[in-house]
Amino acid sequence: MKSNASSHHGPKGSSKGRILLGQSVVRGFEGHAVGDRPKLHLPAIAVLGRSNVGKSSLLNALLKTQIARVSQTPGRTQALFWYRVDGRFDVVDCPGYGYAKTAKDKRAHFSEQIDDVLSGERPVNCVLLLVDGRLDPQESDRSMALYLEELGMPTIVAATKWDGVKPSQRVKQLRSLTGEYARSIRTLQPVSSETGENLETLGRAVLALIKEASTGSPAQETVPHLDPQEEE
């Protein structure tokens, strides 16, 4: 495990430059072994999805930095990367699942790590599950959604790479994805990290989810100022 406290701020002065989840983000912690956690335990959301679905890209887009490593080759993220936003909550970029070329023992290790972060000691409070918006629902995504539902894990879904879906196909595709995941999730948001489409809406949904999942009630305010709109 490693600690690397580089801090990233969105450019000041314009709401456009502001990160969508708060004011600033710090790459705090890399979890390589099962059970690794940051020393200071804060509310946390895990970002999950198949390899190459765009988890790290979406995190960078929401945090308006290049903090998370992105690659055209699937299997890029090889540890649990904990990003701390405003010292108030953690966003965890996880290795992707479902990439056949990742060595078997590595896949098993990643899956153990993900399992632990969802259901081990000190699990995350909620999940942002990413599915590829251009594709029909995939078997591995269905299994993950089902597993999250069984755990009772508060989850929202983002359908990624929405820039790659033709306008004429969007309504149909959205209906198909929403229908597939509606049972186990609260909301499904189509997004594009390339064009920025719907990222602000997703950012707000993520903040609301963290607040609700960490206080047990949307009305309570024990995690203060999670809405960046409230701050300047």
Ligand X SMILES: Nc1nc2c(ncn2[C@@H]2O[C@H](COP(=O)(O)OP(=O)(O)OP(=O)(O)O)[C@@H](O)[C@H]2O)c(=O)[nH]1
Strand 89-93 to 80-85 pairing: antiparallel
User: Least distance in Å: CB of 40 to ligand X?
Assistant: 25
User: Least distance in Å: CB of 131 to ligand X?
Assistant: 11
Nearer to ligand X, 74 or 137 (CB): 74
Which range in 24-32, 38-46, 75-83, 208-216 contacts ligand X by CB under 6 A? 75-83
Among 22, 38, 96, 203, binds ligand X (CB under 6 A): 96
Nearer to ligand X, 194 or 227 (CB): 194
Which range in 49-57, 115-123, 131-139, 188-196 contacts Mg ion by CB under 5 A? 49-57
The answer to whether 51 contacts ligand X (rule: CB under 6 A) is yes
Which range in 106-114, 146-154, 187-195, 222-230 contacts ligand X by CB under 6 A? 187-195
User: Least distance in Å: CB of 44 to Mg ion?
Assistant: 17
Nearer to ligand X, 37 or 161 (CB): 161
From the list 141, 131, 125, the residue with the least C-alpha distance to 91 is 125
What does the binding site for ligand X look like in residue numbers (CB under 6 A)? Answer: 49, 51-57, 70-72, 74-77, 95-96, 160-161, 163-164, 192-194
